[in-house]
Structure 1
Amino acid sequence: MARLVRLSFFAALLFTLLDLCKGSTIGVCYGRNADDLPTPDKVAELVQKHNIKHVRIYDANIPVLKAFANTGVELIIGVANSDLLPFSQFQTNADTWLKNNILPYYPSTKITYITVGVEVTEAPNNVSALVVPAMQKIFTALKKAGLHKKIKVSSTHSLGILSRSYPPSAGAFNSEYAFFLKPMLEFLVDNQSPLMVDIYPYYAYRDSPNNVSLDYALFELSSEVVDPNTGLLYTNIFDAQIDALYFALMALNFRTIKIMVTETGWPSKGSPKEKAATPDNAQTYNTNLINHVINNTGTPAKPGEELDVYLFSLFNENRKPGMESERNWGLFYPDGTSVYTLDFTGRGILATSSDANSTNSTGTTWCIASSTASEMDLQRALDWACGPGNVDCTAIQPSQPCYEPDTLVSHVSYAFNSYYQQNGATDLACSFGGAGVKVTKNPSYDNCIYMTAGSKKTAASNVSATPLAAAASSVNRFAAWISGCLLISFCTLFL
């Protein structure tokens, strides 16, 4: 009996730690309001090629659900505002929808969330009162099928549900929406579902450039704002808006609800009045956002808090009405080429098989971190390179030219290449147990110069520091994650 109790305890601890090790995630919204998009099968291939693990669609389109079967990609699917009335009225409508649109494809297609309604407070027809009844009936249908703990139910909203968002500590929900927000929040608590919100710093800057600086909107650290009530320092408006939501929840005593950002992004093109809608700004915003999220940075009010975020959008949508920017939020063109370069893992410079196999006119090669290597293998290799490997790693210390982006793969790539070049640029010198890969494209950027064969100096060779100091930030970033996962391994010995 005692052994059974002990096993039960360790099993519970195991699942708790597994949840802790999940970490923040980045997904992408797959809108289809266009007449030039590739087929769902091609989209699923594109998503897998770029290592995107989470996708949001806005309906339960059967060809899309079939295309993502057996891909491992987790889907958020949606119920449109136009369907809220029948869903809210009769349980049989929700039961039939689940039977026809979900059950035939689950679990081959990994559906994790159902969103009921889309920004209903912004909709031209007032359907807010229908949201919670529809959510309840879909939940009941899932419960009948035994899926209510595997597929969560929520609803997406704009930041317009707040009446006040500045300063963040004064965040408050609009009392006009209290009639449906309060029962909805109670539903989310009861079923451990997140509050889903669409957050767009681009609009905050575009519509109020005198009050919101571009740097503050783009996660560029040159701007900062202090909350006068809490003293918390904000370096970007994204965090400020997230914390405004958390403070609004706390004001109503909903302290356990987590927030999920179901849309955010930056347009790459706009009308003449939308000067900030450029590819460079879009790349800057999304790159900084991904790094911010993947590193589990959290927000000033919730440091280290996990946050799942979905970028909008996979493709430009040429049928969307409104200003020019509305049709230019895409990360990819219909032919699958990128609108601008983006690393969805937040790891920094990544190699692909085509990079490794190509050649250049000079025959020069560099060695960087492989995109298939695990974080633990990369961390071990970095520690070895900056220690016994005698690599000068000062360039990847804080304030040095190769410290940014502050990601494990970026730091590892610099260290790998230095070792590789210093040791004859041989295949063996780029092995690192399979964690290194040779490329022919120069990975240097800005003031961070990667060594080539025969180089005598690194980008920061005139700075004296201990070799292992460069690894400190990466060690700290993954210490909590690794500790939790080591605990999992320990616990499994007793199961």
Structure 2
Amino acid sequence: MATGFIFSASLFFLLLLIDCCSGSFIGICYGRNADDLPTPDKVAQLVQLHKIKYVRIYDSNIQVLKAFANTGVELMIGVPNSDLLSLSQFQSNADAWLKNSVLPYYPATKITYITVGAEVTESSYNTSSLVVPAMSNVLTALKKLGLHKKIKVSSTHSLGVLSRSFPPSAGAFNSSHAHFLKPMLEFLAENQSPFMIDIYPYYAYRDSSNKVSLDYALFHASSEVIDPNTGLLYTNMFDAQIDAIYFALMALNFRTIKVMVTETGWPSKGSPKEKAATPDNAQTYNTNLIRHVINNTGTPAKPGEELDIYIFSLFNENRKPGLESERNWGLFYPDQTSVYNLDFTGRGAIDMTTAANVTRSNKTSWCIASTKASEIDLQNALDWACGPGNVDCRAIQPSQPCFEPDNLASHASFAFNSYYQQNGASDVACSFGGTGVKVDKDPSYDKCIYMRDGNNITLANNTTALSSNSSSQQKRNYSSISMYLFVIIYLFILLNIQQS
């Protein structure tokens, strides 16, 4: 009996340890609607070079699957809408598809998700009724091979699957999709698969710029919206749209289904009427998105909730129809050079050296709080800088060298400048929704040394260098170390119990 208790308790704490060490991840979508892209093997090399661990493709292309073999990159593969009919009609078709499209390459190629259909509610063909039968057949095929716990099955959706998304607490699914949504949600809940959603704040801003501010779409904390039903404060549209999905799920009593973002991003170029489609805005959105996600802050309605996302997309795709922006969502040109540089870890400084980026000053400059900014705006910007902005703000804590003078403007100035210097000392990095201003005079005083030209912050003794990501990284390290120590102590106690 004691042995059984020890085993059960040990298993519980092992699961607790695994859970505490998990976190959100950043992936990328690898679309291939172009005639000038590099070969899949070169793409796999590019992905590894940039330490990208998760890639979504929209089919099960043999050359792509072969290229990613033994790379350690986890793939999400897809069943196109055109194949839904055959896979939904007969189990044998799903068995054959899995045998021919997955098994020859698995597990050398790490396939972790299969998306059955993509944004079917947006399709001109009425294929939504085929989705759940096709998903069920694919899952059955996986079960026959014992792979159903290693490869999850789901389907992706556009935000158009909602009839209402604002305020977030009023989020509701479109009743016209109820015939397939309810059985699909039951499928997801039963099989612990995520609800996959494609979210684009860019479109909301482009189509309603008179109602949606650019700052709100780009994660700039100076812009905020309060949900009148819950009182929850939203500083960006991304969180608001995610919570609208969660509230829509809860309204149907699906409270255990997790949300995964299978597409999001911002275009770097557009037609004349798409003025927000610029390299600067694309870099700002994706940089802030990455930092927001890896900090595991969750959303106002789901604080601390893990949220995995895939950025759209790896390359510009010259064969995509529509406005100019449709062909310019890529992080890379087909020749594999960067459209703009992006740090996928979200922890280091952004490389602002590409010609596409904003101009930099040729002389040293600093970023401080504007004297014209309101206290509310300053506080919001300071909170953002010390939170999602990933700034180490220990120097402005009590007893630290930059705590005095103890006022909002002084503390905000230190945090603003740290973010500014860590992110290339560019104009956009000192905006803070209009609460930041650039100056040419060093604001350092006494032992409070302001970062300059990307140098590290120094604390009380002026000798301890702190990297730009130390605060959030140390929190993760301390959390992991604490849990490991806890488990070691617990196992030591169990050992003594067993011996006694």
Provide the secondary structure at the position in 2 that maps to 1:87.
helix
Change (3 A) 1:478 1:242: farther
Report the CA distance between 1:74 and its aligned residue.
0.7
Aligned twin of 1:75? 75
Matches within 5 A, 1:29-428: 29-349=29-349, 399-401=412-414
Deviation at 1:459, TM superposition (A): 1.8
Aligned to 2:374: none
> Structure 1 CA distance, aligned partners of 2:104 and 2:112?
15
3-state DSSP of counterpart to 1:183: helix
Q: Deviations over 1:177-213 (max 9, x none)?
A: 0000000000000000000000000000000111111
1:426-445 per-position Cα deviation (integer Å, ceiling 9, x unaligned) = xxxxxxxxxxxxxxx99997
Q: Deviations over 1:214-254 (max 9, x none)?
A: 00000011110000000000011100000000001111110
Q: Which residue of 2 aligns with 1:459?
A: 450
SS at match of 1:92: helix
Counterpart residue identity of residue 87, structure 1: L
Where 1:293 maps in the other structure, the secondary structure is helix
Q: Check the 8 A contact 2:290/2:344 in 1, yes or no.
A: yes
Aligned-partner Cα distance in 2 for 1:405–1:163: 42
Structure-2 change in CA distance of 1:116 and 1:404 (3 Å): farther
Letter of the 2:262 partner, please give it: T
Letter in 2 for 1:245: I
CA distance in 1, matches of 2:346, 2:99: 38
Counterpart secondary structure, 2:163 = strand
Between the aligned residues of both structures, percent identity stands at: 69
Change (3 A) 1:457 1:43: same
Q: Is the 8 A contact 1:315 1:330 kept in 2?
A: yes
Closer/same/farther in 2, CA of residues 314 and 394 from structure 1, 3 Å limit: farther
CA distance in 2, matches of 1:165, 1:404: 36
Instruction: Report the residue type matching 1:306 in the other structure.
Output: E
Distance 1:95 1:474, change over 3 A: closer
1:348 Cα deviation from its structure 2 partner: 2.2
Deviations 1:399-448 (A, max 9, x none): 244567779x969xxxxxxxxxxxxxxxxxxxxxxxxxxxxx99997669
The Cα shift of 1:19 comes to 3.0
The 1:302–1:485 alpha-carbon spacing in structure 2 relative to 1, beyond 3 Å, is: farther
Q: Answer yes or no: is the 8 Å Cα contact 1:331–1:340 preserved in 2.
A: yes
User: Partner residue of 1:436?
Assistant: none
Contact 2:402 2:448 in 1 (8 A): no
Question: 2:196 and 2:346 mapped to 1: Cα distance?
Answer: 22
CA contact (8 A) 1:91 1:137 kept: yes
Structure 1 residue runs of 5 or longer lacking an equivalent are 352-381, 412-440
In the TM superposition, what is the alpha-carbon distance from 1:295 to its structure 2 partner? 0.3
Query: Which deviates further from its counterpart, 5-14 or 208-217?
Result: 5-14
Q: How far, CA to CA, are the matches of 1:164 and 1:340 in structure 2?
A: 34
- The 3 A distance-change label for structure 1 pair 251 and 349 is same
Could you say if the C-alpha distance between residues 478 and 39 of structure 1 is closer, same or farther in structure 2, counting changes exceeding 3 Å?
same
Task: Confirm or deny: 8 A CA contact 2:418 2:450 kept in the other structure.
Answer: no
Structure 2 residue matching 1:108: 3-state secondary structure = coil
Amino acid at match of 1:10: S
Query: In structure 2, what is the Cα distance between the partners aligned to 1:302 and 1:25?
Result: 17
Separation in structure 1 between the aligned mates of residue 320 and residue 491 of structure 2, nearest angstrom = 51
Paired residue secondary structure (2:342): coil
Q: Output one character per residue of 1:138-174: Cα deviation in whole Å (capped at 9) or x when no partner.
A: 0000000000001000000000110000000000000
Alpha-carbon distance in 2 for matches of 1:212, 1:484: 43
User: What is the alpha-carbon distance in structure 1 between the residues aligned to residue 223 and residue 425 of structure 2?
Assistant: 32
Distance 1:492 1:145, change over 3 A: farther
**AA paired with 1:144?**
K
Q: Tell whether the 8 Å contact from 1:74 to 1:109 is kept in structure 2 after alignment.
A: yes
Instruction: Quote the Cα distance in structure 1 between the aligned partners of 2:426 and 2:232.
Output: 37
Deviations 1:362-388 (A, max 9, x none): xxxxxxxxxxxxxxxxxxxx99x99xx
SS at match of 2:412: coil
Q: Could you tell me how far 1:337 is from its partner in structure 2? A: 1.1
Secondary structure at 1:300 match in 2: coil
Displacement after TM superposition at 1:349 (Å): 2.3
SS in 1 for 2:219: coil
> 1:8 and 1:340, CA in 2 relative to 1: closer, same or farther beyond 3 A?
same
Hey, what's the Cα distance between the residues in 2 that align with 1:348 and 1:489?
33
Deviation, 1:457, is 8.2
CA contact (8 A) 1:394 1:400 kept: no
Distance in 2 between the 1:151 and 1:180 partners?
22
AA aligned opposite 1:319: R
Q: What number of residue pairs does the alignment pair up?
A: 423
What runs of 5+ residues in structure 2 fail to find an aligned partner? 352-390, 405-409, 431-437, 496-500
Q: Which amino acid aligns with 1:248?
A: A
- Does the Cα contact within 8 Å between 2:341 and 2:350 map onto a contact in 1? no
Cα distance change of structure 1 residues 188 and 464 upon mapping to structure 2, 3 Å threshold: closer
C-alpha displacement of 1:336: 1.4
Q: 1:114 to 1:460 in 2, by over 3 A?
A: closer
Asked if the contact 2:402/2:411 (under 8 Å) is kept, the reply is no
- 3-state DSSP class of the match of 1:32? coil
1:430-441 equivalences under 5 Å are: none
Q: Secondary structure at the match of 1:399?
A: helix
